[in-house]
Structure 1
């Protein structure tokens, strides 16, 4: 029997993490469906998924997170899922929080963010400084406070699934959240906990993180004003 919720797991070079992540979901949370979107990995990520019999979309080239994410949402749309959640393949996201996010989105929200900072203050690291800047930028441009704008654990309603699946330039980034808020989308946050990456390294190092924040801020304050929403 098909679940009302699809867990979308974009994966790029996650051969050391993917088995633990997917096996845990399959064993402990079988009430949810899932799909791994292998984003043209150069390692054995796809091979492991095929050998284990995981549900898999195997992209022939690397599209980046936005492309892999949109592929998953297009699949969710075509399969008729009511809800979909973006779920990292690196072991940081914890599936025990999916239930409370699902309960929240059923209250009528378009997007629910699994937030680390609803009830917990951010530390004073450079990474959290960037997060604070994004929170302020979104607040200034939308009048809505998003405490954890960089969280990758986001759940989407049926209407959002359709919109993301059928439009270009809808990446899973803070500027998209800002854009959707400006255009009437309703967003809520649910307190979650996240683990540290088990193996491998994030694509965002210190320099990469700085460039990412600058890009997001320019997009939120300037670029998003010229976009037109097509529903």
Structure 2
């Protein structure tokens, strides 16, 4: 049952070790928010630990990947009538205390989605050198394609308003969702803004991009972005402003 206008969506795959701490941190820093954990086909006790911590839990029957898990969260947000929905990783990388500046930016900046960028002020954990190089290349590509500055296109720390929730509930990228979603918003005429945030190194789990995959990942995500940019507007979902 909805108690707040803000829903925190936490996609989680095999995060049983640390999910309670992540949820406790969110509750402490954002006490007025509701939380839903999308258990993405975990093989450990992620769902049990999340429920024990007091979060609503949606358990998927199989592992859909981050795109499918996040869209499930947005569908839940739309169905339950939330006005705002935020994404936060289940590995503890995102600091809930940074949500305040994101909420201010969404409320007063005229954007439909706000992305927390670790590279605007370059404070906190900045990722490995190789990944920073890849992120910089993607940021440069998106800056040219979208006609505005993009600094942290792979950030999964995001806050959406009503129009973005409705869009993502209806249609959300699956392969490289964080990057492609920025193009999707632009294609639909919706606005995205970045605000500086501090992030920390993941507390538990490991990245899905292993040491031998970055070049392959960069080639595929670049192709996916270019294809996404050529798609014509097709979204017709209505939402309440």
Normalising by the smaller structure, the TM-score range is over 0.9
Contact 1:137 1:221 in 2 (8 A): no
Unaligned runs of 5+ in 1: none
Aligned residues: 231
Q: Name which of structure 1's ranges 137-146 and 208-217 shifts more when overlaid on structure 2.
A: 208-217
Structure 1 counterpart of 2:63? 62
Aligned to 1:73: 74
Corresponding residue for 1:185? 190
Instruction: Tell me, yes or no, if the aligned pair for 1:152 and 1:172 is still in contact at 8 Å.
Output: no
* 2:220 maps to 1:219: no
Query: Which residue of the partner structure matches residue 103 of structure 1?
Result: 104
CA contact (8 A) 1:13 1:42 kept: yes
The DSSP-based 3-state class of the residue aligned with 2:212 is helix
- The answer to whether the Cα contact below 8 Å between 1:39 and 1:63 also exists between their aligned partners in 2 is yes
Kindly indicate whether residue 125 of structure 2 is the aligned counterpart of residue 120 of structure 1.
no
Aligned residue number for residue 20 of structure 2: 19
Aligned partners of 1:45, 1:124: CA distance in 2, in Å? Answer: 27
2:235 corresponds in structure 1 to 230
| Aligned-partner Cα distance in 1 for 2:60–2:127 | 37
Equivalent in the alignment of 2:214: 209
- Looking at structure 1, the residues matched to 61 and 69 of structure 2 have their Cα atoms a distance apart, in angstroms, of 11
SS of the equivalent of 2:144 reads helix
Structure-1 separation of matches of 2:116 and 2:34: 19
Is residue 23–residue 53 contact of structure 2 (8 Å, CA) maintained in 1? no
Provide the rounded CA distance (Å) in 1 between the counterparts of 2:53 and 2:82. Answer: 24
Shift of 1:51: 3.6
Measured in 2, the distance between the counterparts of 1:194 and 1:46 equals 25
Q: Does the Cα contact within 8 Å between 1:179 and 1:220 map onto a contact in 2?
A: no
**TM-score, structure 1 as length reference:** 0.92
Q: Quick one: distance in 1 between partners of 2:227 and 2:88?
A: 29
Q: TM-score, normalised by structure 2?
A: 0.88
In 1: Cα distance, 2:199 partner to 2:28 partner:
20
CA distance in 1, matches of 2:129, 2:232: 33
Measured against aligned partners, the alpha-carbon deviations of 1:41-94 in whole angstroms (never above 9, x if no partner) come to 011111222344431111111111101100000000011111111100000000
- Conserved in 2, the CA contact under 8 Å of 1:100 and 1:190? yes
What CA RMSD, in Å, does the superposition of the two structures yield over aligned residues? 2.0
Mapped contact 2:67–2:172 kept (Cα < 8 A): no
Which structure 2 residues correspond to residues 122-201 of structure 1 after superposition, within 5 A? Answer: 125-167=129-171, 169=173, 172-201=177-206
